[in-house]
Amino acid sequence: MVKSVEKTKRGTGILGALAFTAVAVGLYWGLVQAPPDALQGDVQRIMYLHLPSILTAYLSFFLVFIGSCLYLWKREKRDDNLAHSAAELGVLFTALTIVEGSIWGRPTWGVWWTWDARLTLTAILLLIYTGYLMLRSLIDDENRAAVSAAVLGIIGFLDIPLIHMSVYWWRTLHQPPSILRPDKLPWENVDPAMLAALGVNLLAFMLLYFYLLSLRLRLGEVRNEIKSLRLSRGAY
Amino acid sequence: MGPWGFVFLAYGIVWGAILVYLFSLKRRYSCALEELAQLRAAEESNEDAK
C-alpha cells in the first residue's frame, strides 16, 4: 500500500515536471516562434491559450459525464470523486476561456462581451457546473448530494454539442472553426508554424490538466478516508 | 492598450489563475493529510486505551 502511494506520488511528480516543461515550450512557441496573423496581428496569439483552454474544459466535462454515469450505475465513491474533481477543473478552464475570449474580443470585435450564441452557451455551461459544485456543498446527505450532482453533471454535458454547433446553426459574431472544418484540412487553412504552436500548447494544457486532476483526485481520496474514519467513530 | 498589452493581460491572468489554483490545491491537500493523521492517531490511542 505504502509502495503504491509512493509510486503514484512519483508518477504525479514526473507528470508535473513534464507539464511545466511543455508549458515553457508552449509559451516560447506562442509568443515568439509563431508568426503574427495577417489580419489580426499579434493579438491572435491569445488563440494559443483560448483553444487549448476550451478543449481542456470539454475533456473535463466529458470526464464528469463518464464519472456521473458510472456513479449512478455502480455507486462507487471513486467514480463520484472523478466527477467532482473534473467538474472543479472544468469550471476553472471554462472561466479562463471566457476571460481570454473577452480580452481577445475587445481589440477584434470592439466589445468585451456580446450576447452571441456561442458566448452565451459557454456562459450557461459555466453556470451549470458552478451550480453542480454549489449543489454538492449545499446538500448535507453525502449520497443524495452525489446522486443529484451526477444527474446535473450528465444533463450539463448536453450543452457542449450545442456550443460546438452554435456557429453553424445561428448567425454569430464568433468565427466558425479554423482547425476542425469539414471542408478543409487544418494545414490547408492555417499556417504550419501556427498549427505547430497550437499543437504544443494543446499538449501543454493536456499534461497540466492531468497533473492537476491527479492532485485533485488524491485530495478527494484523503477527504473520503477522513469521512469514513469519522463515520466509524460515530462523529456524524 | 496595444496588441501586446492584450496578449500579456490574457497570458498573465491565465497562468496567474492556474498557479493560484495549484497552490490552493496543494494547501488543501496538506491540511487534509494533517487532519487524517490526527484522526488516525486518535483512533490508535482509543484502541490502546481499550
CB A83 within 8 A of CB A150: yes
Question: All 3 cell numbers of residue B39?
Answer: 484522526
Q: What is the pTM of this model?
A: 0.91
pLDDT tens for the 236 residues of chain A, in order: 556 667 777 888 899 999 999 999 999 999 999 999 988 999 999 999 999 999 999 999 999 999 999 999 999 999 999 999 999 999 999 999 999 999 999 999 999 999 999 999 999 999 999 999 999 999 988 899 999 999 999 999 999 999 988 888 887 778 777 776 767 777 777 788 899 999 999 999 999 999 999 999 999 999 999 988 888 876 54
Interchain proximity B13–A103, CB inside 8 Å: yes
Number of Cβ atoms within 10 Å of the Cβ of B12: 11
Q: What gap in Å lies between CA B11 and CA A26, rounded to an integer? A: 12
Q: Residues 6 or more apart from A95 whose CB is under 8 A from it? A: A126, B17
Cα four-point dihedral sign A115, A116, A119, A124: positive
Is the confidence at residue B24, as pLDDT, over 80? yes
**What is residue B50's predicted lDDT score, i.e. its pLDDT?**
66
| Residue B41 cell numbers, joined | 492517531
Q: CB–CB of B14 and A99 under 8 A?
A: yes
Q: Which three cell numbers stand for residue A26?
A: 508552449
Query: Domain residues of chain B, as ranges?
Result: 1-50
Residue A34, pLDDT score: 92
In this structure, are residues A79 and A138 in contact, taking their beta carbons and an 8 Å threshold? no
What residues make up the domain containing A145? 2-233
Looking at residue A103, what is its pLDDT?
Answer: 96
Residues of A with a Cβ under 8 Å from any B Cβ are: 23, 27, 31, 41-43, 45-46, 49, 53, 92, 95-96, 99-100, 103-104, 106-107, 208, 212, 215-216, 218-219, 222-223, 225-226, 229-230, 233
Q: How many CB pairs under 8 A join A and B?
A: 78
What is the structure's pLDDT at A236?
Answer: 45
